[in-house]
Amino acid sequence: SGESILPQGATEVDAFYMRMCVDLARQAVGKTSPNPIVGCVIVKDGRIVGRGFHPKAGEPHAEVFALREAGPLAQGATAYVSLEPCNHYGRTPPCSQALVKAKLKRVVVGVVDPNPQVGGKGIKTLRNAGIEVVVGVEETLCLKANESFMHRMATGRPFVTLRYSMSMDGGFLGNMGLSNAQGGLYSKLLQENDAVVITDAAVLDDPDLLSSEPGAKQPLRVILARSLDLPVESKVFDTSYAKTLVLADQKSCIDDIQRKSADGKSIEARLRAGGVDVVMMNDLTLENVLSVCYQLGATSVLLDSRGPVSSGLENFLGQQALDEEAAQKVVVQVAPIFLGENRTEPCFRMDSDLVKLERVSSHMVGQDVVIEGYFPER
C-alpha cells in the first residue's frame, strides 16, 4: 500500500508480493500456534514459480513448500517471506540453508524473527552466501499478522484481546446483537484466537463459541465458574467440535461439588463424562486463568465479555482485564442505541490514570461501529 515505507533496495513490486505472502500465511490463521503464520512466494522473471505457507506447528515451513513447487526454477529467483527464514534445527531443518542450496538470487523479508533461535541469524546466513537480502517490506502488516507470536516472544505471555459491546450511553450490552455468521467479526475472532474465555453466566444464553469460517480451527472454550450449577446440556459443553475447560472457583463451588442430580451423578462428573475438563482453582484470578491457557498452548486468548451484566463474574472479565492491565488489545462494538432507563451500569469503573489506545482503527458491522485499539506497552 502507498502508506507503507519501503526500505532501501525495495520497490512497490516487492511490497505487492509481500502482501501476497501475508494473504497466503493467513490461510493457516489460528492453526499454527505456538508457531507464527508465514507465507512465501518465489518469483522468477516476473512470474510466480512457487508459493507456500506454514500450515501447522511441526509441519514444514512456508519456504519449503514454495521451494518444492519452484524446483530448479528457484535458481536466480527472488523469494519473498513474511518472516525471516529460520536458521535452526527445530522440528524442521533451517530454511536459510534451503534457500542457499536452491541458489536464490535475492530474498525479501517482511520482518525479523524475534525468536532468539533465529533473530537475524537467518538473514546473516543468506548474506554470507552472497544472496541479496532486503528486510522490512510491509513490516507493519507482517507484525500485525503475527501479533500473538511477537508478543509471546517478547514477554512469554499470551496475547490477550478484550471484547465487549456497548450502547451509545455507555451501557454494557452482553451478547445483544452479537452474531457469529461466517465472515463476521466475531466468527473471525474465534478463528484467530487459540482460546476464548467466557463466564458461567454467559453459558445461559447457550452460545456454541464456534467459528463459522470454513475449515477454522476451533478455539479452546474456557468457562469461568463461580458455581458448578451449570446447564450441562448447553452447546458449549458439546465437545465434538472443540474442547471445553471449566475453571471453577474452589471456594464458591464447594457446596456444588457435593450436590448430585437425579441420576446420582454430580454436575462435575456429568461434564467430565461429556469430555469437558474441569479444573478447581484455588484462586480464580485473571492472571491464573491466563497462565492455565498459556500452559495449554494458547498463544492468543479472547476475553469475551458477553454475559449478562447482573453476573458478578461478568464484570470480573472486563474489569479485571483493565485493572490488571492484562489485555493488549480491545475490540468494542458500539451499537447505535441508547439503553436509557435500561442501562444498569457503565461497562467498567476504572480507577487508573487516563489510558489512550494506540493504532486505533474502526469499521462498520451492520449498524454498529467496531473500534479496535492496542493498549500502550506497560
Looking only at residues 18 through 77 of this chain, which bind ligand AOF when binding is defined by CB under 6 A?
35-36, 38, 54, 57, 61-63
Among 6, 26, 73, 92, binds ligand AOF (CB under 6 A): 92
Q: Is 61 in the site for Zn ion (CB under 5 A)?
A: yes
CA distance between the termini of the chain: 30
CB of 118 to ligand AOF, least distance (A): 5
Residues in contact with ligand AOF, counted by CB under 6 A, come to a total of: 18
Cβ nearer to ligand AOF, comparing 25 with 228: 25
The residue with its CB nearest to ligand AOF is: 90
CB of 291 to ligand AOF, least distance (A): 21
Among 15, 22, 95, 153, binds Zn ion (CB under 5 A): 95
- Contact segment (CB under 6 A) with ligand AOF among 110-118, 182-190, 296-304, 345-353 equals 110-118
Let me know if 314 is a catalytic residue: no
Q: Is 86 in the site for Zn ion (CB under 5 A)?
A: yes
In which order are the strands placed within the sheet that holds 47-53?
A: 47-53, 39-44, 78-81, 106-109, 132-135
Helix (H, G, I), strand (E, B) or coil at 374: strand
Sheet strands (E) in 256-328: 277-281, 300-304
Judge contact between 309 and 175, C-beta under 8 A.
no
Residue 324's CB is within 10 A of a number of other CB atoms, namely: 12
Q: How far apart are CA 223 and CA 178, in angstroms?
A: 18
Contact residues for 197 (Cβ-Cβ < 8 A; gap 6+)? 222, 223, 224, 289, 293, 301, 302, 303, 304, 317
Among 7, 55, 90, 373, binds ligand AOF (CB under 6 A): 90
Identify the active-site residue in 3, 12, 59, 63: 63
Looking only at residues 215 through 274 of this chain, which bind ligand AOF when binding is defined by CB under 6 A?
none
Q: Which residues bind Zn ion (CB under 5 A)?
A: 61, 86, 95
